[in-house]
Amino acid sequence: MSEQRRGAVRSEASRVAILNATAALFAEKGYEHLSIEAIAAEAGVGKQTIYRWWPTKSALVAECMIEGFLMPGGAIPLNSGDIRSDLEAWVVAVFRFTEDPDNDVLIRSLVAAASDNGDIGRRLHDRLGASSELTERLAAAVRAGEVRPDLPIADVGEVLVGAVVLRILTREPTDEKLPTRLVDIVLGGPRPVA
């Protein structure tokens, strides 16, 4: 005998409509003026549907970020064939995003949501950690012989993401040489001189 799930089944079409509406209204109004009522109206669902799936506005915004509806493509490093340049460009782009005052509320809500909700924290870890596009780019670099084959890929990803999170929490300004230093550290030294 199979067990039936209790509660309403989560409609993928409604979920995507809610995430799209959240991203659009966030871009238009910002976090402070974003309301569940407006999101529900824009998505064509009831407020209760949103609250059933996301207990808080910050949890909903966090899911938008995790799912790539906010900052689409921003968490994906390039693959130009030069891992050092790709990682440096990725770190620079992420630092610029986190240091932009317009993104401050988004970032704070993401950190708050991850702190308050273990599931969001785990999903954020998955998105930025071992199964992320960052680690996929590092794995491609190992396969291409750009870096040593025993490079601890998951650890490298966590070190880079940890540096970003530390900057977010401390709100320390980033000097222009930090991305290069971080990449040198995680790849085991500076670029070899040709």
| Structural domain count of the chain | 2
Checking if the pLDDT of 130 tops 60, the result is no
Q: What pLDDT, on the 0 to 100 scale, is given for residue 41?
A: 97
Checking if the pLDDT of 129 tops 70, the result is no
Residues 6+ apart with CB under 8 A from 171: none
Q: What is the DSSP annotation of 105-171?
A: HHHHHHHHHHHH-HHHHHHHHHHHTTTSHHHHHHHHHHHTTSS-TT--HHHHHHHHHHHHHHHHHHT
Q: CATH code at 36?
A: 1.10.10.60
Domain for residue 60, yes or no?
no
Checking if the pLDDT of 81 tops 80, the result is yes
Structural domain including 34 reads 12-53
Q: CATH code at 128?
A: 1.10.357.10
Checking if the pLDDT of 135 tops 70, the result is yes
Are 23 and 97 contained in the same domain?
Answer: no
Are 27 and 114 contained in the same domain?
Answer: no
Q: What pLDDT, on the 0 to 100 scale, is given for residue 7?
A: 47
Checking if the pLDDT of 111 tops 80, the result is no
